[in-house]
Amino acid sequence: MNLLEDLRWRGLLSQSTDEAALQEALKKPITLYIGFDPTAPSLHVGNLVVLLVLRRFQLAGHNPIALVGGATGLVGDPSGRNEERTLNSGDTVAEWVAKIRTQVSSFLDFEKGPNKAQVVNNLDWTSPLSAIEFLRDIGKHFSVNQMLAKDSVSSRLEAGGISYTEFSYQVLQSLDFLELYRRYQCTLQLGGSDQWGNIVAGLDLIRRVEGGSGHALTIPLLTKTDGSKFGKTASGSIWLDAAMTSPYAFFQYWLNTDDKDVVKFLKVFSFKSHEEIAELERAHEANPGLREAHRALARELTSLVHSPEISERVEEAAKALFGQGDLAALDEATLSGALSELPRVTVKSSEDIPSWVDLLAATGVVDSKSAARRIVKEGGAYLNNAKVESEDFRLQKTDFLCGKYALLRKGKRDLAAVELI
């Protein structure tokens, strides 16, 4: 199966300018790119969809460029938004550019070789341009009528208007494609399906300015079966930065994938073969309760984004939280990440530590102290996976793991955390 057929099988092919011509071009190594704007200090799992497609192209022998938008990030893409973005300062955007450059670099191979990856910043060729040069040399090639017809622009006009700043985003992105075509013979741009108009505008600019040609390929925007937004939880976005989403929370996000989505997500994100994914699909259909497909997805993605060692540690932490492993064996970072999603109370080391009953009631896991006492009587009360035998049991400072955390458990599944500050 060739690369485009594989992308289609995985649900990763939305539109192409001329698929037959692209298929022919891919018989030899080509240079291609995807752009990432620094709208936050980290990429999120939504960005991972297109980033891993870029990785698939490199594994197939092609030359990938990851563009970080130091210039376009200062302007703001109107796509998918009904209002103007809040513009960030130049220093903030520069800081985010540096972080995202580091992130994308971990997914591509930059070693010396015929198809080593590159990371570029579009501020390098945009900032030297004067306003007059930009308008005369680039802007004159764009039809305002065509730009107004673009979905993201027309929807904003209907909703109340769009600034010239965001209206010009398409021109800046087209300039990126032109510059990469000039500098690196880049002939293919990848992007989400919402970027189709911008990519095609770049191809038109290459034709008008250089008399050249290229290709566009877009990837469907990933959706969940239940209609909720992919990459979001009740606590917010799932980030690739461990400081913003702990590896434990990242692992749990994939582990908690809806049964109806898990095979689709394996196809989109996993580098397993078709046969391996088909085997996981059969196992899932035979016994979904074992969650083999979910665990395979969580392990692979956590290993890819963080490391195999961290993936193993957080999986062990998940087991330990429910009494199937040694909590005391967890390092502080893993333990902190594992407890970060739980209901929590804090106690000061300078004060008397309340009883287990008081603490559990304070977390909201039970409705009242009387309910917490009843749990103790029924034998379902645990501190750090050790059974609590007395209603009057009071934690000691020595009970805190890593000198800082304690785990309360009601029955088999209801957990809460206590942090000593």
- Between CA 188 and CA 199 the distance in angstroms is 9
Would the pLDDT of 339 be above 90?
Answer: no
- Between CA 143 and CA 168 the distance in angstroms is 12
- Between CA 303 and CA 240 the distance in angstroms is 12
Question: What is the C-alpha R_g of the chain?
Answer: 26
pTM, full prediction: 0.87
Helix, coil or strand: residue 108: coil
* Structure-token pair, residue 243: 């400081």
CATH architecture of the domain formed by 223-325? Orthogonal Bundle (1.10)
pLDDT at position 350 is 65
Does domain 342-421 sit in CATH 3.30.1330.10?
Answer: no
Task: Give pLDDT tens digits for 199-244.
Answer: 999 999 999 999 999 999 999 999 988 877 788 776 789 999 999 9
pLDDT at position 365 is 87
Task: Give pLDDT tens digits for 235-244.
Answer: 789 999 999 9
E strand or H helix that includes residue 285: helix 274-286
3-219: what fold?
Rossmann fold (3.40.50)
E strand or H helix that includes residue 236: strand 236-237
Share of the chain above pLDDT 90, in %: 65
- Between CA 280 and CA 323 the distance in angstroms is 27
pLDDT at position 48 is 96
Max mean pLDDT range (56-65, 361-370, 388-397): 56-65
Whether the CB-CB separation of 177 and 73 falls below 8 Å is answered with no
Fill in the DSSP letter of residue 165. Answer: H
Domain map of the chain by residue range?
3-219, 223-325, 342-421
- Between CA 75 and CA 34 the distance in angstroms is 18
Whether the CB-CB separation of 395 and 359 falls below 8 Å is answered with yes
Task: Give pLDDT tens digits for 269-298.
Answer: 999 999 999 999 999 999 999 999 999 999
With bands split at pLDDT 50, 70 and 90, how would you rate the model's confidence at 324? confident
E strand or H helix that includes residue 60: none
